[in-house]
Structure 1
Amino acid sequence: MKVNIIYFLLDIDIDKVFLGASDLDEEGVWKWLNGEPVKSTLFRPNEPNDSNGREHCLIESRAGYNDVRCSLDHTYICEVPTKNAYSPN
């Protein structure tokens, strides 16, 4: 489901999306907000590179994950629990 939402945003020309992961706690150790590790195989080639020691937040782009400055403005995705979800299947 998460992947489908990301691809939907990319299809409507939102090409960079903050996903809620960073290496702010420990340089080079990427974790989601819930503490789970980020799969490093999903980063773009030669990323993350921590350009100028200032890139600590993760975005999804058409080419894969990239590390960027946390102060940049991008669309973001929030995950919230649902009590009842409709499924057409």
Structure 2
Amino acid sequence: MEFTEKDEDKEEMNIYANVHSVNIHDVRTETENTRKHQTPQHTEAGDQLLNKSMQLTKERDELLSSNHVLIKQTDQLRQEKNELLISIRGMDGWIYYQSNLYFISSEKKSWTESRRSCTERGADLIIINNRQEQDFVKKISANAHVWIGLTDIDVEGTWKWVDGSTLTSGFWDPREPNGHRGENCALIYSPGWADYPCSDRFLWICEKSILK
């Protein structure tokens, strides 16, 4: 059989059509495969961003809630402080200083009677802890002789405060204590502390903490 030019042209067109069909199929397949590989990556990145956004929103809400609680607590503390200061002003004879209340008497009693008067007021004879408190007491007592909560009545020479703690350092007058067994209770006056007979009668000063 002989091929004519028309037959040759027809054959070339068939070959071209088959090649073109294969190329389109390959390109489509490659594109779909590429999308299959890319889509999960894009989805994972989007999920991460969404989760991060949700976490930040949650943390913001928690901070706002904590801040609201803190503001409420601060307002409550401010109100309690104001109420306390009002009640302090209403306590006849008491003086407020560094979270403590002090009461200085206008009458004289023995050391034991003075302490009893303090405990009846929900307080005790003063314990002087530092130089600032020492200077404060001297100021409000106008350097008068005033009983403080210090005694060596149990063991001579071992001075203890009314709360049972042992004196480690103090503000004694350089000449004191010098009374030995006859002078077992301490008072404060202008030069410092001194020991006197507990039965002597002096003014006295009570102290109580408002933090208890």
TM-score, normalised with respect to structure 1: 0.75
Determine whether 1:32 maps to 2:161. yes
- Structure 1 residue corresponding to 2:210, chosen from 82, 85, 88: 82
On the 8 A contact 2:138/2:190 being kept in 1, the answer is no
Bigger Rg, which one: 2
Q: Unaligned 5+ residue runs, structure 1?
A: 84-89
CA distance in 1, matches of 2:167, 2:202: 20
Select the structure that is richer in strand. 1
Determine whether 1:69 maps to 2:181. no
CA RMSD, Structure 1 to Structure 2 (Å): 1.9
CA distance in 2, matches of 1:60, 1:39: 17
Q: How many residues align?
A: 79
Give the letter aligned to residue 62 of structure 1.
S
TM-score, normalised with respect to structure 2: 0.34
Give the letter aligned to residue 80 of structure 1.
K
On the 8 A contact 2:147/2:202 being kept in 1, the answer is yes
- Following TM superposition, by how much is the alpha carbon of 1:75 offset from its aligned partner in structure 2, in angstroms? 0.6
Q: Secondary structure, in 3 states, of the residue corresponding to 1:6? A: helix
* Partner residue in 2 for 1:5: 137
Cα–Cα, structure 1 residues 39 and 6, in superposed 2: closer, same or farther, change >3 Å?
farther
CA distance in 2, matches of 1:27, 1:17: 21
- Following TM superposition, by how much is the alpha carbon of 1:50 offset from its aligned partner in structure 2, in angstroms? 1.6
Q: Unaligned 5+ residue runs, structure 2?
A: 1-96, 98-132
CA distance in 1, matches of 2:192, 2:208: 23
Query: Structure 1 vs Structure 2: percent identity of aligned residues?
Result: 30
Structure number with the bigger relative contact order (C-alpha 8 A, sep ≥ 6) is 1
- Following TM superposition, by how much is the alpha carbon of 1:78 offset from its aligned partner in structure 2, in angstroms? 1.1
